[in-house]
């Protein structure tokens, strides 16, 4: 098959939208939203055809090269790779969903997410889609599932759509379909969903230094106290902190690299570590007893700390009525706004995806500038000396 121009490292590093050639008819297509897909441009019976070989999240560079080579071999012999693909065994949607579930399951640390995934499809999608071959599923089929619940059960509808979309992405990656009808193809056909914002309770940022001292002096377990402190200092999500592993932490470089599979947006997020955050990590060294989790469960050895444990710690401090664990991110965002921190820095620190045209061209994670921002945040949270009279 030969050596191409691209490497695994280059594929991961490319961010700018466009078409990047590997050679021998194989290309990497990067969409404006950042998704990456393998495409082969091949002349079949005198006509140039673009053949999708799957997304980079599912198909490796080596696998894409192998598939492209096989398609060229078929074309040289006068065959049509597209026709051969159409004649291959097409699974039913429920079979494809099960395969997708098995593929995704190792990425989910939360067992509740795994158990809910197939249940959503069983309740809402399989009646219409379950026994359809995936290449016969059209936009009208997906809309028939989503439209009845889109306005009445918006959160459920979003989850069901995500499950259908993931299944059809798996099908695309394996060359079974060309269009994902749970994606952008149906955006214009769905009724507008009311944006219901449930503002999570957030402690005013001016009260956070005192709250940190209260957490330190509380009777909560060491894992819970240190996890809460680390969460506030890094402005990270609960699941990101609770699932943090020592392999993600680079003490020397003072950075916490959260892999894409653990991030809401699906992309790696780098968190600069301040002196205060490093101090928390140093104190957490002896918690694991061999576990790779930074903040392991004190009840179940080797298991992740539960979200309920952090909520219980807040409740014991009398803060549960004033704040949620996730609400500390809002406290950080308010502090950024009130102290004049640039919006793009605050959003990058919170790992919020920037949408629209701005997001398509905004590629930097502003890491060094965020290091300064988080240093300022840690300094603000540090206990202040009482004024002397």
Q: Is 117 exposed, middle or buried (0-12, 13-18, 19+ CB in 10 A)?
A: buried
292 and 209 share one domain: yes
In a domain, 1, yes or no: no
In a domain, 200, yes or no: no
In a domain, 2, yes or no: no
Q: Are 255 and 273 in contact (CB under 8 A)?
A: yes
215 and 356 share one domain: yes
* Residue 216 or residue 293, greater confidence: 293
In a domain, 345, yes or no: yes
The tally of domains found in the chain comes to 3
pLDDT band at 84 (very low <50, low <70, confident <90, very high): low
What is the reported pLDDT for 289?
66
Average pLDDT of the chain is: 84
174 and 38 share one domain: no
In a domain, 138, yes or no: yes
What is the reported pLDDT for 354?
52
114 and 149 share one domain: yes
What is the reported pLDDT for 245?
92
Single out the residue in 137, 158, 189 at which a domain terminates. Answer: 189
In a domain, 301, yes or no: yes
In a domain, 98, yes or no: yes
Task: Give the single-character DSSP code of 301.
Answer: T
112 and 222 share one domain: no
What is the reported pLDDT for 160?
93
Single out the residue in 125, 157, 189 at which a domain terminates. Answer: 189
Distance between start and end Cα atoms, the chain = 80
pLDDT at 255 over 80: yes
What is the reported pLDDT for 288?
66
- How many other CB atoms sit within 10 Å of the CB of residue 358? 9
62 and 99 share one domain: no
Cα dihedral 22, 25, 28, 29 in deg (nearest 10): 150
364 and 258 share one domain: yes
pLDDT band at 27 (very low <50, low <70, confident <90, very high): very high
pLDDT at 178 over 70: yes
Q: Are 95 and 65 in contact (CB under 8 A)?
A: no
331 and 274 share one domain: yes
Supply the range of the domain harboring residue 42.
8-87
Single out the residue in 189, 219, 249 at which a domain terminates. Answer: 189
137 and 56 share one domain: no
State the CATH number of the domain containing residue 99.
Answer: 1.10.150.130
State the CATH number of the domain containing residue 32.
Answer: 3.30.160.390
213 and 318 share one domain: yes
305 and 354 share one domain: yes
State the CATH number of the domain containing residue 221.
Answer: 1.10.443.10
What is the reported pLDDT for 357?
36
121 and 56 share one domain: no
Q: Are 332 and 350 in contact (CB under 8 A)?
A: yes
pLDDT at 295 over 50: yes
pLDDT band at 167 (very low <50, low <70, confident <90, very high): very high
pLDDT at 216 over 60: yes
Secondary structure element (H or E) that encloses residue 256, with its range: strand 255-258
In a domain, 39, yes or no: yes
What is the reported pLDDT for 194?
57
pLDDT at 195 over 70: no
Reported as a single tens digit per residue, the pLDDT across 312-348 is: 887 777 776 667 788 888 999 999 999 999 988 999 9
């Amino acid at each position: 098959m030969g050596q191409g121009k691209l490497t695994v490292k280059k594929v991961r590093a490319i961010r700018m939208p466009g078409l990047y050639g590997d050679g021998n008819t194989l290309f990497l297509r990067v969409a404006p939203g950042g998704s990456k897909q393998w495409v082969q441009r091949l002349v079949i019976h005198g006509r140039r055809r673009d053949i999708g070989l799957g997304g980079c999240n599912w198909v490796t560079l080596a696998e894409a090269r192998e598939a492209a080579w096989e398609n060229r071999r078929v074309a040289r012999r006068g065959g049509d790779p597209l026709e051969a693909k159409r004649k291959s065994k097409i699974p039913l949607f429920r079979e494809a969903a099960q395969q997708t579930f098995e593929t995704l399951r190792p990425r989910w640390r939360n067992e509740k997410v795994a158990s809910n995934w197939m249940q959503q499809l069983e309740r809402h999608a399989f009646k219409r889609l379950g026994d359809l071959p995936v290449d016969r599923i059209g936009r009208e089929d997906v809309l028939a599932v989503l439209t009845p619940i889109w306005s009445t059960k918006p959160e459920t509808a979003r989850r069901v759509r995500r499950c259908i979309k993931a299944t059809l992405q798996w099908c695309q990656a394996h060359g079974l379909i060309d269009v994902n009808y749970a994606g952008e193809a149906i955006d214009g056909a769905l009724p507008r969903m009311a944006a219901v914002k449930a503002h999570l309770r957030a402690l005013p940022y001016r009260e956070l230094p005192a709250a940190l001292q209260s957490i330190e002096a509380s009777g909560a377990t060491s894992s819970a106290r240190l996890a809460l402190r680390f969460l506030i200092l890094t402005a990270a999500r609960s699941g990101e902190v609770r699932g943090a592993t020592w392999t993600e932490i680079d003490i020397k470089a003072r950075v916490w690299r959260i892999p894409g599979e653990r991030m809401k947006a699906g992309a790696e997020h780098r968190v600069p570590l301040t002196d205060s955050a490093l101090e928390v990590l140093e104190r957490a060294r002896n918690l694991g007893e061999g576990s790779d989790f930074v903040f392991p469960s004190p009840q179940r050895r080797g298991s992740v700390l539960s979200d309920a444990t952090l909520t219980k710690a807040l409740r014991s401090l009398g803060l549960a009525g004033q704040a949620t664990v996730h609400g500390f991110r809002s406290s950080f965002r308010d502090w950024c706004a009130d102290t004049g921190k640039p919006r793009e820095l605050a959003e990058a620190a919170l790992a919020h995806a920037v949408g629209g045209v701005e997001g398509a061209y905004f590629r930097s994670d502003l890491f060094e500038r965020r290091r300064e921002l988080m240093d300022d945040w840690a300094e603000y949270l540090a206990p202040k000396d009482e004024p002397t009279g």
